[in-house]
Amino acid sequence: MYQYIMRRLLLTIPVVIGVSLLVFSLIRLLPGDPARALAGVTATPEYIEQVRERYGLNDPVYVQYGNFMRGLVTGDLGVSTFSRRPVTTEIGERFPRTLTLASLSLLIATVVGVSAGIVSATRRNSIFDNASMFVALVGVAAPVFWMALMLQLLFAVQLRWLPATGMGGISHLVLPSITLGMASAALMARITRSSMLDVLKQDFITTARSKGLAERVVIYKHALKNALIPVVTVLGLQFGILLGGAVLTETVFAWPGVGRLLVDSILRRDYPVVQGTVMLLAFLFVIINLVVDVIYAFLDPRIHYQGQDN
């Protein structure tokens, strides 16, 4: 296990380098002169040239990329061209808010999605099964921003139960977390149901039932553990998507997290903040995938990784 984890950690290095190269290239392929955007529309040519020198925009592209990677390794992501504050400070203030929102949304998705999937699988073709799968289909198809607007209209405007936007107490977390969580819950429900149906057809489930074990024991002790492997995969991917997909939700609900920071920075052409934020989200995706792979081995001891037994 230790060798596998170390090997996976080493494999993350070329992935991170590839992502950094992609992010660096896409930022500089945006239309317009970044120096003019940073200097302002009323800036003189002399001041624009000073901006180019200050931010190294006159250097060759490979030199700019080298400086970017050097800062990435040392934790120095540069200074925001808008607030004049370090990028790490800007992200550090916003990331805990996004992490809180994504974690609560994942909790909602897991509890609602897995529970609905288990009940649907054990009561196949029942009214609950058909209704829950229909709701799950709608949840997967509905755009996040539309769901957010509908929840705002119902609970904030019509019923006046919850605040529509902003950050404050726990009540401000309810609508954005439900918006993010329900879309993921719908997908989790469908995956859990499909996986449970496959496991319930296996011979060891028939054997467990033939021994006279209670149906509750068969479902939750034997079937669920084996059905959780594809669920864990989706769970890990969904957590990464929730962290990155919070962009729309944070914008609609005016939640001051990393997603809203990213949108604002793109509009302001604040390249250092955009690069730092995207790199953070990409790195989190890599780490989450690593954690998911490690969890596989604990859920199913039959899983052997290439080279582990050599």
| Residue ranges making up the domain that contains 111 | 96-299
The most confident of the ranges 87-96, 226-235, 291-300 is 87-96
Residue 119: name the closest of 220, 203, 234 by CA.
220
- Tell me what pLDDT residue 149 has: 87
Residue-wise pLDDT tens digits, 54-63:
777 778 888 8
- Which residue has 């200050």 as its token pair? 54
Residue 176 counted as domain residue? yes
3-state helix, strand and coil shares in percent for the chain, rounded to the nearest 5: 75, 0, 20
- Tell me what pLDDT residue 2 has: 67
Does residue 300 surpass a pLDDT of 70?
Answer: no
If one compares 127 and 136, the residue with the highest pLDDT of the two is 127
Residue-wise pLDDT tens digits, 206-215:
888 888 878 7
What is the chain's mean pLDDT, rounded?
A: 80
Does residue 174 surpass a pLDDT of 70?
Answer: yes
Does residue 121 surpass a pLDDT of 60?
Answer: yes
Does residue 222 surpass a pLDDT of 80?
Answer: no
Residue 160 counted as domain residue? yes
CA distances 57 to 38, 46, 183, Å, are 11, 14, 42
CATH number, domain containing residue 261: 1.10.3720.10
Residue 141 counted as domain residue? yes
CA distances 182 to 10, 23, 161, 264, 270, Å, are 35, 30, 19, 26, 32
Residue 179 counted as domain residue? yes
Mean pLDDT of 13-27: 82
Residue 287 counted as domain residue? yes
Among 4-8, 185-189, 198-202, where is mean pLDDT lowest?
A: 4-8
- Tell me what pLDDT residue 309 has: 47
Percent share of the chain, pLDDT over 70: 91
Residue 188: name the closest of 104, 113, 107 by CA.
113
- Tell me what pLDDT residue 48 has: 81
Mean pLDDT of 144-164: 86
Residue 89 counted as domain residue? no
- How would DSSP label each residue in 2-29? HHHHHHHHHHHHHHHHHHHHHHHHHHHT
The answer to whether 299 and 67 are in contact (CB under 8 A) is: no
Backbone angles phi, psi at 211, to 5 degrees: -80, -5
Q: How many domains does the chain have?
A: 1
Residue-wise pLDDT tens digits, 253-278:
888 888 888 888 887 778 788 888 88
Residue 278 counted as domain residue? yes
- Report the distance separating Cα 306 and Cα 310, nearest Å: 8
**Angle 252-117-126 (CA atoms, 0-180°, nearest 5)?**
115
Residue-wise pLDDT tens digits, 77-117:
878 877 888 888 888 888 888 888 888 888 988 888 888 88
Amino acid at 33: D
Residue 214 counted as domain residue? yes
Does residue 310 surpass a pLDDT of 50?
Answer: no
How many CB atoms neighbour CB 254 within 10 A? 14
- Report the distance separating Cα 52 and Cα 49, nearest Å: 5
